[in-house]
Each structure stands twice: as structure tokens, then as C-alpha cells.
């Protein structure tokens, strides 16, 4: 818990420490005392860098959300057949999730107890809805199997994607990287989704 770390913090470097502790203990389970121990500075020193605990949460979830929304703006997410765009967005979402792992992890766990959390949940729902729209479009094109109900498939696809934060650890030896995991997700999910298998 007490991480050595001298040589002055910035809001960003402090955020890295905080997000790690938030993910270990949960946001509500983390006190400023926990953060100060992990950062190796006193509680009051933290307030020199950020306004408080909730600002750290806000910075973290916004970073995650910005990364996710950026995917929807990419060219391959906007042009082409819907089912292919869906597959592309699925792949890139997994990659962002792996690249920004601690931030997305925190985002996926907020419960809505504060304004910041509710705002994060709302933006996240917006992202989900945009992907769900892609799925709907692909179904209308006749590119998705019809024996699995659409809303259900959307939920399960997200479930598979989002579950990556529960086990992926970049440091583990021989671990797959973002692209490999994305491959596996796309292969597994789209085998059950695409009309052609």
C-alpha cells in the first residue's frame, strides 16, 4: 500500500496512483488516508494538486469516456456496411479498454452515488446506445442471425467486451495484448452473431 514515490506530483501522476487504489479497494472503499499512504505524501498535500477525491474520479472516468467516444469518430466506424462497422467498433473498443485499462475499469464500476458518477453513467449509456444502433442496423441489413434476440445479443456482446477489465493484467507473462484479445472477442462473438457464421 505504501508506495515509495518522492519527487513532486502533478494532477496526472497523482491520478495514476489514485486510480490504481480506487480499482483495488473500490472508490467508496478508498479514503484520502489510503491515497496519501499509496502516494507517499500527506492527505493535505493531495489537496494541493486536486480539489478532492471526487475530482480524481471525474478526471479518471472522463479519460475513459473520451477514449471510447473517439472510437465512434474513426473512419471505419462511420463508413461501410453496418455489420463491418460493428465489428470494427467492437475490436477498437477492446483495444481502448486494454490501453486505458485502469480508467475504463473505474468507469465500469461507478454506482451513481454522486453527481460525477451519475454523469459518467449517462455518458456511458450514450456510448452503449450508439453501438446498439449499429447492431440494429446490421440486423436490418440481414447480416445478423435472427434466432438470438437483438437486445439480448447487444447486452451479451457488451458483457463479453467489458469483462476484459476483470482479468486482463498487462504485466502477466505471456499475456495476450489488446489486439489479440480483440481478435478473440471478435471471433467468439461474431461466430454467434453473423449470418454466415
Partner DNA sequence: GTCTATATTACGATAGAC
Partner DNA sequence: GTCTATCGTAATATAGAC
Interaction between residue 163 and its own copies (CB under 8 A): yes
* Using rule CB under 7 A, residue 13 touches DNA: no
Distance (Å, whole) CA 5 – CA 177: 28
Tell me which of its own copies, DNA, none is bound by residue 129, counting a contact when its beta carbon lies within the kind-specific cut-off of 5 to 8 angstroms. none
Asked if residues 105 and 112 have their Cβ atoms less than 8 Å apart, the reply is no
Interaction partner, residue 179 (DNA, its own copies, none; CB < 5-8 Å by kind)? none
Tell me whether residue 9 or residue 193 sits nearer to its own copies (CB atom).
Answer: 193
- Binding to its own copies (CB under 8 A): which residues in 14-53? 24-26, 28-29
Q: Does 181 bind its own copies (CB under 8 A)?
A: yes
User: Which sign, positive or negative, has the C-alpha torsion 68, 20, 18, 121?
Assistant: positive
The gap between the terminal CA atoms of the chain, to the nearest Å, is 48
Neighbours of 172 (CB within 10 A): 9
Helix (H/G/I), strand (E/B), else coil: 79: coil
Does position 68 interact with its own copies (CB under 8 A)? The reply is no
Q: Measuring CA to CA, which residue among 79, 100, 101 is closest to residue 89?
A: 79
Binding stretches for its own copies (CB under 8 A):
24-26, 28-29, 109, 111, 113, 147-149, 152-153, 155-156, 158-164, 166-167, 176, 181, 184-185, 187-193, 197
Binding site for DNA (CB under 7 A): 8-9, 30-34, 41-45, 47-49, 51-54
Amino acid at each position: 500500500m505504501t508506495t515509495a514515490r518522492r519527487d513532486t506530483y502533478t494532477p496526472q501522476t497523482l491520478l495514476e496512483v489514485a486510480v490504481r487504489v480506487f480499482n483495488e479497494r473500490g472508490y467508496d472503499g478508498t479514503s484520502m488516508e489510503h491515497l496519501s499512504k499509496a502516494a507517499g505524501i500527506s492527505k493535505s498535500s493531495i489537496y494541493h494538486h486536486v480539489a478532492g477525491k471526487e475530482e480524481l474520479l471525474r478526471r479518471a472516468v472522463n479519460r475513459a469516456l473520451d477514449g471510447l467516444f473517439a472510437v465512434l469518430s474513426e473512419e471505419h466506424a462511420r463508413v461501410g456496411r453496418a455489420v463491418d462497422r460493428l465489428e470494427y467498433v467492437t475490436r477498437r473498443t477492446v483495444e481502448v479498454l486494454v490501453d486505458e485499462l485502469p480508467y475504463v475499469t473505474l468507469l465500469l464500476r461507478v454506482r451513481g452515488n454522486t453527481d460525477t458518477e451519475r454523469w459518467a453513467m449517462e455518458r456511458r449509456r450514450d456510448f452503449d446506445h450508439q453501438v446498439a444502433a449499429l447492431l440494429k442496423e446490421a440486423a436490418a441489413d440481414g447480416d445478423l442471425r435472427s434466432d438470438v434476440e437483438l437486445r439480448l445479443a447487444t447486452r451479451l456482446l457488451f458483457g463479453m467486451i467489458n469483462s476484459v477489465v476483470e482479468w486482463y493484467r498487462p504485466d502477466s507473462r505471456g499475456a495476450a495484448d489488446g489486439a489479440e484479445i480483440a481478435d478473440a472477442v471478435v471471433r467468439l462473438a461474431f461466430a454467434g452473431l453473423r449470418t454466415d457464421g
